[in-house]
Amino acid sequence: MGKRSKVIERDAVVIRFSGDSGDGMQLTGTLFSNTSALFGHDISTFPDYPAEIRAPQGTVGGVSGFQVHIGHKLINTPGDFTDVLVAMNPAAVKANAMWLKAGSTIIYDSDNFTEKQIQRAGYKADPFTEDKLDSMNLIGAPITSMVKEALKDMEIDPKTVLRTKNMFALGMVYWLFDSKLKYTEDFIGEKFGKKPLVAEANSKVLRAGYYYAETIEALTPSYHISPAPIVKGTYRNINGNQATAWGFLAAAEKADLKLFIGSYPITPATGILEELALRKDLGVRSLQAEDEIAGICTAIGASFTGRLAVTSTSGPGLALKSEALNLAVMTELPLVVVDVQRGGPSTGLPTKTEQSDLWQALYGRNGESPVPVIAAGTPSDCFTYAFQAAKIAVEYMTPVILLTDSYLANGSEPWKIPSMKDMPAIKVPYAVKTDKEYQAYERDPEKLARSWAIPGTPGLEHRIGGLEKTIKGSVSYTPENHEYMVRMRDEKVERIVNEVPDLEVTGNKKGDMLVIGWGSTYGHIYTAVTELREEGYKISAAHFNYIRPLPKNTAKVFSGFGKLVVCELNTGQFANYLRMKHQRFTYHQYNRLQGLPFTVGEIKDYCKKLLEGK
């Protein structure tokens, strides 16, 4: 292929594909990410799309974006600001103007920059002038007309022709990044296997875009990014929902239990149910329930019979499930509830990310209701924490809440594939028939877990339910018994601390400031703190995945620092939780509520100001 006049070697680049929600930007972004990952780049992705399946065309509200950060060094966030923007229409420019780095490249479909489209996007005149983007590297390509031209000899309908526009843009970006087309061509062949004409059209347009970019060379300088220094092994790309689903499968296999999922579709959690519904080959029983409540209640029923039971949902669904979750607390049955958080309250921001269900997870139920709460930090470690949540649920006979969020669920990253033989064992506390009568609430002295008597086993017939019980399993309203049982349930959850690894510190164990986070903010906080350390600040980071119970060494870690800053995407729910659990410290807060992940820059700015006493 053509010689390049100027190639820039870069450590990392952020690319954002942006267009109408029907323009295929999510697919385009995914294909680009996968190609980059196969080449050996480290990547992090962030899909950002509207709640409406087809919002009004050409409006800012209807813009669907997919951001990918690729790098030669290790990448922990999808990037704050964009180096390359692909804008299929003026609305895409409008929606992304504030997220562009100085000197960015904007590739846009000039055919779509008509007066009508410009007005629909909310511009009065030329978008680039109006948003002061003149100094950017602007590459207007008549994508729509080029696509029509490329496919004019093929007998396919005009709608299908226009649907290939994303492939043209992708082809151009591949040239810009000196990437190979093979992965995408293979994908096209697979996806449209039954429609060879459509497959051919897409491949043709992909190449047309690539050659167009080569021909005009207006795109130069182009980028070259060497492979990242990644640990040896076999890798794949994985998003948070898939990793969560697979973590449950891994736990079921390790525990030698069959998996059951009862769930109701809800954005952004549905991918977990979809993934597990596929896995009948691994014996998963999945049910799309009639509502959220039935989702958890079927899971509780399945758990009673001796299956590893899970239910997936998002904030509004967790609210609906709370009564049944307490039934699992009372019956002390293993169950994992995944809350893929989104912006709330109420329907809120269904497709946007937020960490605002923490209190709901900890406290959103009637009565004294102790439930362990675990949060995953990156898309791929949803696998680890789904596994851990299931392990704790089974070994301690308790429901567990696993918190992820929209950012983790849809974001993806390369993942070194683990081997099942390296995963920890899971020991199931089965009840066995002895000479003594089975007592439903007799506890293991160490973990305080009751034993699991599986229906169908002769001699272990018993009745449990939502009413308070004695150790024997009889209904009891006796004052002393209730207090005893409340305290036992609480103590059992507290003892899970023995499973919780110590809190780790990124950086020195002593310093001026510790930046504290939990869940999905890991990458942004880690990057911000690492950069600040490189700039000479005495700053460290500590990230929580176990929220209840907190790691044993929490206070010890905190005491090594002058200032504690809790960064989270809510008004301070974790900060206040820490204020209650570890009262002797003063906590500063940095909070955002925009339905978006943090930017590395804003965390750095806040920390610097606080350190410098401004």
CB-hemisphere CA count at 13 Å for 229? 2
Q: How far is the CB of 315 from another protein (least distance, A)?
A: 21
Query: Among 517, 572, 569, which residue's Cα sits nearest to residue 540?
Result: 517
Q: Tell me which of 108, 128, 177, 260 binds another protein, using CB under 8 A.
A: 260
Residue pair 57/243 in contact (Cβ under 8 Å)? The answer is no
Q: Does 516 bind another protein (CB under 8 A)?
A: no
Q: How far is the CB of 44 from another protein (least distance, A)?
A: 17
Q: Does 193 bind another protein (CB under 8 A)?
A: no
Q: How far is the CB of 452 from another protein (least distance, A)?
A: 12
Q: How far is the CB of 466 from another protein (least distance, A)?
A: 5
The one-letter amino acid at 538:
K
- Hey, which residues does 413 pair with through a beta bridge? 238
Q: How far is the CB of 272 from another protein (least distance, A)?
A: 15
Contacts of 317 (CB under 8 A, 6+ apart): 264, 266, 269, 292, 295, 339
Q: Tell me which of 9, 256, 281, 612 binds another protein, using CB under 8 A.
A: 281
Query: Cα(first)–Cα(last) distance of the chain, in Å?
Result: 55
Residue 231 Ramachandran class (φ > 0 left, ψ -120 to 50 alpha, else beta): beta
Q: Tell me which of 142, 418, 511, 601 binds another protein, using CB under 8 A.
A: 418
Instruction: Give the residue carrying structure tokens 């209807």.
Output: 62
Q: How far is the CB of 49 from another protein (least distance, A)?
A: 23
Q: Does 283 bind another protein (CB under 8 A)?
A: yes
CA–CA separation, 8 and 604 (whole Å):
27
Q: How far is the CB of 534 from another protein (least distance, A)?
A: 26
Closest to another protein by CB, 470 or 506: 470
Q: How far is the CB of 329 from another protein (least distance, A)?
A: 12
Task: Give the number of residues in contact with another protein, rule: CB under 8 A.
Answer: 67
Parallel, antiparallel, or unpaired: how do β-strands 587-591 and 505-506 relate? Answer: unpaired
Residue 573-612 contact track with another protein, rule CB under 8 A, x = bound: ----------------------------------------
Helix, coil or strand: residue 287: strand
Residue pair 97/109 in contact (Cβ under 8 Å)? The answer is no
CA–CA separation, 172 and 212 (whole Å):
7
Closest to another protein by CB, 472 or 552: 472
Q: Tell me which of 11, 126, 290, 605 binds another protein, using CB under 8 A.
A: 290
Q: Does 262 bind another protein (CB under 8 A)?
A: yes
- Tokens found for residue 166: 């994303």
Instruction: Give the residue carrying structure tokens 């590459």.
Output: 139
Q: How far is the CB of 38 from another protein (least distance, A)?
A: 5
- Tokens found for residue 208: 């047309």
Q: Does 250 bind another protein (CB under 8 A)?
A: yes
Q: Does 256 bind another protein (CB under 8 A)?
A: no
Q: Does 393 bind another protein (CB under 8 A)?
A: no
Residue pair 321/311 in contact (Cβ under 8 Å)? The answer is yes
Q: Tell me which of 224, 285, 581, 608 binds another protein, using CB under 8 A.
A: 285
Radius of gyration for the alpha carbons in the chain, expressed in angstroms and rounded: 26
Q: Tell me which of 299, 340, 515, 578 binds another protein, using CB under 8 A.
A: 299
CA–CA separation, 107 and 119 (whole Å):
20
Q: Tell me which of 458, 479, 536, 613 binds another protein, using CB under 8 A.
A: 458
The one-letter amino acid at 151:
L
Length of the chain: 614
The one-letter amino acid at 444:
D
Q: Does 253 bind another protein (CB under 8 A)?
A: yes
Closest to another protein by CB, 183 or 223: 183
Q: Tell me which of 244, 331, 369, 388 binds another protein, using CB under 8 A.
A: 331
Q: Does 37 bind another protein (CB under 8 A)?
A: yes
Q: Does 450 bind another protein (CB under 8 A)?
A: no
Contacts of 133 (CB under 8 A, 6+ apart): 93, 97, 100, 106, 127
The one-letter amino acid at 175:
W
CA–CA separation, 13 and 68 (whole Å):
8
Phi and psi, residue 56, nearest 5°: -50, 130
Q: Does 297 bind another protein (CB under 8 A)?
A: yes
Q: Does 482 bind another protein (CB under 8 A)?
A: no
CA–CA separation, 331 and 450 (whole Å):
10
The window from 17-25, 276-284, 441-449, 538-546 that contacts another protein (CB under 8 A) reads 276-284
How far CA 565 is from CA of 464, 516, 603, in Å, comes to 45, 6, 10
The enclosing H or E element of 31 equals helix 25-39
Closest to another protein by CB, 139 or 245: 245
Q: Tell me which of 307, 365, 447, 450 binds another protein, using CB under 8 A.
A: 307
Q: How far is the CB of 243 from another protein (least distance, A)?
A: 10
Q: Tell me which of 8, 216, 417, 432 binds another protein, using CB under 8 A.
A: 417
Q: Which residues bind another protein (CB under 8 A)?
A: 34, 37-38, 40, 183, 230-237, 246, 249-250, 253, 258, 260, 262, 279-283, 285, 287, 289-291, 293-294, 297-307, 309, 323-324, 327, 331, 417-420, 455-467, 474-475
